[in-house]
Amino acid sequence: MIRRIQAFQAFLTLLCIVLGIALFARDANAGTWRLKSNEIQEGSGGTWHLYMTIELSAPPSVAHVPMKFSFTKTVEYERALVDGQKDPVTNHTQLTGQMPQIITQDIDFANATGKIFKGTGFDFGVTRAVGFVAGEYKVQLRTADGTDIGGPVQLILKGDNEVVDRRSITFNAKNKQKVEGTDAGKEVASNNSESAIPNNAEIKPIGSAAPFIPDDAYKPLDENGNPIKDHPKGCGCSVPMTDSTSLQWLALPALAGLVVIRRRRKS
């Protein structure tokens, strides 16, 4: 039983030592930082230049330390055209749930002789080309492994953003423009205007038109297309066996019979 208690105490001691080393290693890089100015005016080319001082709790092990600046937009300065205003107005729009924009920089903590210090001065620029606009941001400085350096800093980027049209659309134009040939005006809906044809007036035809069926359509024509002046004579009945075509068909059996008789005689 005593051995178990001693083993448990040794485990707790080892755990405290490990936690102490981890906390010391984390606090070794912890420190503070601050901006030279929290309000920065936009410069040429859509650039805001940030100047700062960074102070660690102890000098880093290397001269150049990679660090991350996390920019989270909290307020956007929107310039908009609104009804009743000639010039654009600026609206401060509060934002929530914005994804941070990360910029990584290598910060030098050594001087010209190579000696490493725990504090340094640093500056860099952010531009519209990478997504920054005029507004307010919360900026947090962290080491490459995610350790925060100090607390977040409020940053205001001043400048003129692009103008957004927020005016309402109106369909009631005061000055209506008349287009010749398309706008008939009030005369279209009025029954009081004079018309070329009075109401309830009898319209009489003028001139004469050719009939749809010509007169010669009623005249009988022969097979050559000539009009027949006199009615053809005859009783209109046909005599059997007088047609030449019928006689030719009757002659064929007679010829066939003569051919058969001749063959029998020869045989």
Which has the closest alpha carbon to 105: 124, 119, 118? 124
Do β-strands 64-81 and 163-165 pair in parallel, antiparallel, or remain unpaired?
parallel
Report d(CA 146, CA 67) in Å as an integer: 9
pTM of the model: 0.54
Q: Judge whether 233 lies within some domain.
A: no
Q: Judge whether 78 lies within some domain.
A: yes
pLDDT exceeds cutoff 60 at 182:
no
Q: Residue range 138-142: average pLDDT?
A: 97
pLDDT exceeds cutoff 80 at 104:
yes
Which has the closest alpha carbon to 22: 145, 149, 152? 145
Q: Which helix (H) or strand (E) holds 123?
A: strand 119-127
Q: Judge whether 241 lies within some domain.
A: no
State which residues form the domain around 44: 24-165
The reported pLDDT for the residue numbered 68 is 97
User: Would you say 77 and 145 are in contact if contact means Cβ atoms under 8 Å apart?
Assistant: no
The reported pLDDT for the residue numbered 209 is 62
Q: Which residues pair with 204 in a beta bridge?
A: none
Domain with residue 136: its CATH number is: 2.60.40.1930
The reported pLDDT for the residue numbered 138 is 98
User: Would you say 79 and 162 are in contact if contact means Cβ atoms under 8 Å apart?
Assistant: yes
pLDDT exceeds cutoff 50 at 179:
no
Q: Judge whether 172 lies within some domain.
A: no
The reported pLDDT for the residue numbered 200 is 60
Phi, psi torsion values for 9, nearest 5 degrees: -65, -40
pLDDT exceeds cutoff 80 at 26:
no
The confidence band for 260, taking pLDDT boundaries of 50, 70 and 90, is: low
| Highest mean predicted confidence (pLDDT) among 29-33, 69-73, 193-197 | 69-73
39-76 pLDDT tens trace: 999 998 999 999 999 999 999 999 999 999 999 999 99
Q: Judge whether 149 lies within some domain.
A: yes
Q: Residue range 131-155: average pLDDT?
A: 96
Q: Residue range 178-206: average pLDDT?
A: 54
User: Degrees (nearest 5) of the Cα angle 25, 26, 28?
Assistant: 65
Report d(CA 33, CA 52) in Å as an integer: 7
Q: Judge whether 258 lies within some domain.
A: no
What domain count does the chain have? 1
Q: Judge whether 70 lies within some domain.
A: yes
Q: Residue 219, SS3? A: coil
